[in-house]
Amino acid sequence: YETTNNCLSVHIQISKTKTAMMKDIPTTHVDCAAVFKSGNTQSGVYTLTLPDSTQEVKAFCDMETDGGGWTVIQKRFDGHVDFHRTWQEYKKVSGFGEPSGEYWLGNDFVYKLTNVHSYKLRLQLNDWEGNSGLSQYDQFSLESEEQNYRIHLKGYSGTAGKISSIGQPGSEFSTKDADNDKCVCKCSQLTTGGWWFDACGPSNLNGMYYQQGQNSNRFNGIKWYYWKGSGYSLKSTTMMIRPVDFSSSL
């Protein structure tokens, strides 16, 4: 992504100059759809700015899939990043990991974005046998930290199961140090990772990463039940969001 980063730093320099000259012109982008609309149509890591704030966060923008403009909020593909993290680590705007690799974009950021605007959620999943699956939701939002980032989803479609593996009504978010699930147990401690556990529910894309050959009969792996069953741990996952009214024409 070196080329993209170079372009980006030039872009940031120009933005800063513009801001200094014309204070009323917004020169920052809240999501990858806005980055795309500004003419940056190459996939890569971009700097975003929170709605109504000057706080910046780096995210990976997928500018190719289904017309582009997707802000990637979760990505896993080789297990190099530990996802068994605390509430604070999942919460903080920048999340954890590296946007150019495996990462989680912070719950506070996703909450703020999805409450300003209406977003779709797209999940791209891969198993170890070369199959890919898709789960898409026409509407996605998170509630605030006070509501434990409860997830709201509507309009499921896709090939990774005929039924959504995130149940309705949406669950609250739990981590190893914050138990907000519907189980007398603590799902995050049992199955690892932060997620919208039910009791403990049919999915956990933030579970333990298992390599090929180690990926079956795992109760604490990367689970998407209605596609691969209960003990199967996936090879790779991407979660990304885009405004519902996005169109790729510039």
d(CA 196, CA 27): 34
d(CA 127, CA 194): 21
| Of positions 183, 189, 216, 248, contacts Ca ion by CB under 5 A | 183
User: CA end-to-end span of the chain, whole Å?
Assistant: 23
For the CB of residue 194, give the shortest distance to Ca ion in the complex, in Å: 14
User: 85: buried, middle or exposed (CB in 10 Å: 19+, 13-18, 0-12)?
Assistant: buried
For the CB of residue 182, give the shortest distance to Ca ion in the complex, in Å: 7
Stretch that binds Ca ion, among 100-108, 173-181, 202-210, 235-243 (CB under 5 A): 173-181
Strand partners, 144: none
| Of positions 102, 181, 194, 243, contacts Ca ion by CB under 5 A | 181
74 or 171, CB closer to Ca ion?
171
For residue 194, give every residue at least 6 positions away whose Cβ sits within 8 Å of its Cβ, in sequence order, or none: 83, 85, 87, 90, 104, 173, 174, 175, 176, 188, 206
Stretch that binds Ca ion, among 23-31, 84-92, 183-191, 226-234 (CB under 5 A): 183-191
102 or 198, CB closer to Ca ion?
198
Stretch that binds Ca ion, among 52-60, 65-73, 94-102, 171-179 (CB under 5 A): 171-179
Number of residues that bind Ca ion (CB under 5 A): 3
| Of positions 66, 138, 177, 179, contacts Ca ion by CB under 5 A | 179
- The two tokens of residue 93 are 């705007």
Strand partners, 137: 121, 156
Q: Which whole-number Å values give the CA distances from 173 to 50, 52, 210, in the listed order?
A: 21, 25, 23
For the CB of residue 192, give the shortest distance to Ca ion in the complex, in Å: 15
Asked if 12 interacts with Ca ion (CB under 5 A), we say no
DSSP state for residue 171 in the 8-state scheme: P
94 or 191, CB closer to Ca ion?
191
- Residues lying near Ca ion in the complex (CB under 5 A) are found at 179, 181, 183
